[in-house]
Amino acid sequence: MTALERVIAAYLDHLEAEVGASGHTVAAYRRDLARYARFLSGEQTVEVAVIRPAQVAAFGAWLREGDAGRPGLAPSSAARALAAVGSFHAFAVRDGEAADNPAAHVERPKQSRRLPKALSVEQVQALLDVPDRTTATGLRDAALLELLYGTGARISEVCALDVDDIAAQLDEPDAGLRLFGKGRKERMVPLGSYARTAVGDWLTRGRPVLQAKATRPGPALLLNARGARLSRQSAFNAIADAAARADLGVTVSPHTLRHSFATHLLDGGADVRVVQELLGHASVTTTQIYTLVTAEHLREVFLTAHPRAR
């Protein structure tokens, strides 16, 4: 292991143990920093203290351009990798491994601002109507969809829920659901009647059927066909399958339901800071992109409906 790889390993341990970053985040940083180490090894640089801004900038260009057998990355992916590099170097400075951060003033690739794609209320209803609530997996999928759309939770947050996290809230209309977001940041979100009903039906009529198939029953709220905790990928597949059966004509992911949750709240008059809290965004500027979605929707309605709009 080179000196650079040793500091990278220490940084990843810091992310996991001290920052409390999710496994998904740590895995993404590990991939990005492995690319960085490979690039620097080609330049015969194996110590973090001697890395210069020009090398960080060259790494960014290398990511975008690609090389033989490796396609270039999209601006968003290259920007994410450079963000990981900048965070890594900041750690190295704090840890006394380097005197300065060579990535501090390196410009990241410009990204076009993409508006989140939200479903209409009618499309969401069609999606929620798909699961067959006479079967165990159908009851599970109904609970999954209602939780995602009804709370705006991330798929990782819903898949991480245990029965004890939610069972006590089912009979209390004013109770909130405790979620742990990025960096293990805790927040409480209301649990609406549709989500409470779907989860209650799943717990009483669906979960016992799938749990009976488990070799080692566990506390997970949502289970797969073998009785183990439902994974993010399996949840993604269940949502994609429901969207296909609903014949929505668009790609639907767990994040689509989160976007729809936020957009429909703002369309209904919710304050952006309330939506920020419900989504668990650290900054209101992250949430404000949804106001652009609703503004665009208003413009479309105006152009379509007003006789002097054009």
| Active site members | 154, 182, 255, 258, 281, 290
- Number of CB atoms found within 10 A of residue 168's CB: 10
How far, in Å, CA of 304 to CA of 301, rounded?
5
Q: How far is CA 72 from its chain centroid?
A: 24
**294: which 2 tokens?**
């609703």
Q: Are 183 and 21 in contact (CB under 8 A)?
A: yes
How far, in Å, CA of 250 to CA of 259, rounded?
14
Q: Give every CB contact of residue 99 below 8 A, 6+ residues apart in sequence.
A: 49, 93
SS3 content of the chain, % helix, strand, coil (to 5): 60, 5, 35
How far, in Å, CA of 131 to CA of 140, rounded?
8
Q: How far is CA 44 from its chain centroid?
A: 36
How far, in Å, CA of 241 to CA of 290, rounded?
26
DSSP reduced 3-state for 179? strand
Given the structure tokens 């001290």, which residue do they identify? 18
How far, in Å, CA of 14 to CA of 19, rounded?
6
How far, in Å, CA of 44 to CA of 40, rounded?
6
